[in-house]
Amino acid sequence: MKINEIAKQMVLKGKGILAADESTGTMTKRLASVKVESNEKNRLTFRHTIFTSKNISKYISGVILFDETIRQNKDGKTISEILNNQNILPGIKVDKGAKKLVGSDETVTEGLDGLRERLKEYYNLGARFAKWRGVYKIDTQYPSQNCIVANAHALARYAALVQETNMVPIVEPEVLMDGKHNIKKCYDVTSKVLEETVKQLRIAGIDFSGMVLKPNMILNGKESGIKNNKDEVADFTLKCIQNNLPTETPGVAFLSGGQSEFEATENLNQINRQNKSSFAFTYSFGRALQQSALKTWAKDIKNIEAVQKVFDERSEMNSLAAKGEWSADLENAA
Ligand code: 13P
């Protein structure tokens, strides 16, 4: 498949991406929050349970995997085979994490050394798209120009290598929700970050028809005390993306970034209701797709069906939101 076809399939109407690529450290925190021991077997059991839920192929176009998971087998099949058999694209997180930026309290994402070789290996393991996340925080003096440029440059070099390997890069510049700032400040910072990211992607010669943008939604800071208004979130988010993303890009798959499951779905739905652009707007959620499933699993680690049901319900709500067809009443009925 050509990269532009893969990218279109990733953001197909009513489908989205499951971000199950938590590093072992993050997964350990997630499992600790529901008092489950983090070992290789438990991490695989939870993920395999979700990857084989009854309706996953209706709502999920692709799954972002972590290095450990793409190498794991269950019942004689690799995880990539299990996904491919359900018409779900396997993807892989390839960055090596956000590391301290010299002279600042910010981070720059690392992982470019040896990336060409790692990508070839992941392709052979079944991956057809990849993910790299740059992180930016908002504070009086942040994000610095250095942080914006360094992360954009790394995202562009990563994206070029991914396309060279015939895979689709998910380009994820995440402006964090943390902070006391208001929505306008988040809009201004995210606009600046997207502008620089697109500039660097152009310099690197990226084919925009073969990539997917994974941005944050535009929100009030978590510690601002201001409640988000969904119409305002949708207005700012759409404007920010339309002003910066080249129209050849088939779509945008948002991260949830610490929003509750309900909020993330509600905001995605409103974005789709107000969308007049050619971009598809869908989900690439981690926490907002898995939180309830994880809690259910922790109650009874053997009750696989209950976990799958919860995951399918959450995915269905997001699928409806990706079409602008979700409403809070449906949520209560589920
Ligand atoms: P969240 O939806 O939990 O923010 O995770 C998405 C992701 O892939 C972060 O890199």
Please list, in sequence order, all residues whose beta carbon lies within 8 angstroms of the beta carbon of residue 3, skipping any fewer than 6 positions away.
163, 166, 167, 168, 207, 209, 210, 211
Count up the domains in the chain and report the number. Answer: 1
Nearest CA to ligand 1 atom 8: 19
> Is 93 within 8 Å of 66 (Cβ atoms)?
yes
d(CA 167, CA 127): 8
- 């690529």: which residue's tokens? 21
Q: Is the CB of 257 under 6 A from ligand 1?
A: yes
pLDDT at 290 over 90: yes
Question: With bands split at pLDDT 50, 70 and 90, how would you rate the model's confidence at 35?
Answer: very high
Nearest CA to ligand 1 atom 5: 286
Nearest CA to ligand 1 atom 1: 286
Identify the CATH number of the domain in which residue 317 sits.
3.20.20.70
5 catalytic per annotation: no
Phi then psi for residue 298, to 5 deg, are -65, -30
Q: Convert the pLDDT of each residue in 126-181 to its tens digit.
A: 999 999 999 999 999 999 999 999 999 999 999 999 999 999 999 999 999 999 99
Residue 332: predicted pLDDT? 67
Looking at residues 184-211, what average pLDDT do you find?
98
143: preceding bond cis by omega (within 30 degrees): yes
Residue 334: predicted pLDDT? 59
Of 106, 172, 196, 266, which residue is the catalytic one? 172
Please list, in sequence order, all residues whose beta carbon lies within 8 angstroms of the beta carbon of residue 206, skipping any fewer than 6 positions away.
156, 159, 160, 163, 169
> Is 248 within 8 Å of 280 (Cβ atoms)?
no
pLDDT at 333 over 80: no
Q: Convert the pLDDT of each residue in 4-18 to its tens digit.
A: 999 999 999 999 999
Q: Convert the pLDDT of each residue in 224-257 to its tens digit.
A: 999 999 999 999 999 999 999 999 999 999 999 9
d(CA 146, CA 68): 32
Q: Convert the pLDDT of each residue in 250-283 to its tens digit.
A: 999 999 999 999 999 999 999 999 999 999 999 9
Q: Which amino acid is at 119?
A: L
> Is 79 within 8 Å of 72 (Cβ atoms)?
yes
pLDDT at 74 over 70: yes
Q: Convert the pLDDT of each residue in 303-326 to its tens digit.
A: 999 999 999 999 999 999 999 999
Q: Is the CB of 19 under 6 A from ligand 1?
A: yes
CA torsion 23→27→28→34, rounded to 10°? 170
Nearest CA to ligand 1 atom 10: 133
Phi then psi for residue 248, to 5 deg, are -65, -25
Q: What is the DSSP string of 179-234?
A: SS--HHHHHHHHHHHHHHHHHHHHHTT--GGG-EE-PPP----TTS-PPP-HHHHH
From residue 68, give the alpha-carbon distance in Å to each of 13, 38, 78, 148, 171: 30, 13, 12, 30, 21
Q: 9 is in which domain, residue-wise?
A: 3-333
Q: Is the CB of 255 under 6 A from ligand 1?
A: yes
Q: What's the 257 CA to ligand 1 centre distance in angstroms?
A: 6
d(CA 280, CA 212): 10
Q: What's the 212 CA to ligand 1 centre distance in angstroms?
A: 15
Write down the mean pLDDT value for the chain: 97
Residue 96: predicted pLDDT? 98
